[in-house]
Amino acid sequence: HYRTTLNAIPVMFEWMLHPDDWYLLPPAIGAASLHLTTIDPNGAASMGFYLDPAILDLDPYSGDFGIGFWGHGRLAASYFVKQPQHGIMCFFCDVDEVHGGATGGSDGTQFTITPRDSMRHKVFLEPLGVLLEVISGSLESVTVNIDAAAFTLSLSD
């Protein structure tokens, strides 16, 4: 339902301001992708999915899909995090660890992030507290060195 995605916007922004509050991230991540699950194989929007065992199908009407999809657009990003209990994780992205080398001229472990979110325009680097956003083109990858507090962007057309 559209309210889930819209209500997740302030939750996600609050987490980005206070990234050590790990209870905020899981519901916001789940809600950020909610509206993509209500698009049928032909690309038609639906306002929901019926979990009644006798139905188990998308609603045939789009109804309030649009405003919820706007919420998805606000949240669409890749989220690279260093969680105290689970370590390095990437939501809506792939991450590869590269030992050695230098990003920003410092030795240390680098991570290459490949965005997999629906828009590929934003990446939040939680260990640095940085939200990167491109206006034109899309992000192909981001390489980050947490110890050096440095990153590089690779853009595509």
Cα-flanking dihedrals φ and ψ of residue 129, to 5°?
A: 70, 35
Q: Taking the model in full, what pTM does it have?
A: 0.88
Summarize the confidence of residues 106-133 as an average pLDDT: 93
Closest by CA to 17, choosing from 139, 147, 124, 157, is: 124
Mind listing the pLDDT tens digit for each residue in 35-74? 888 888 899 988 888 889 999 999 888 888 888 899 999 9
- % pLDDT > 70, the chain: 94
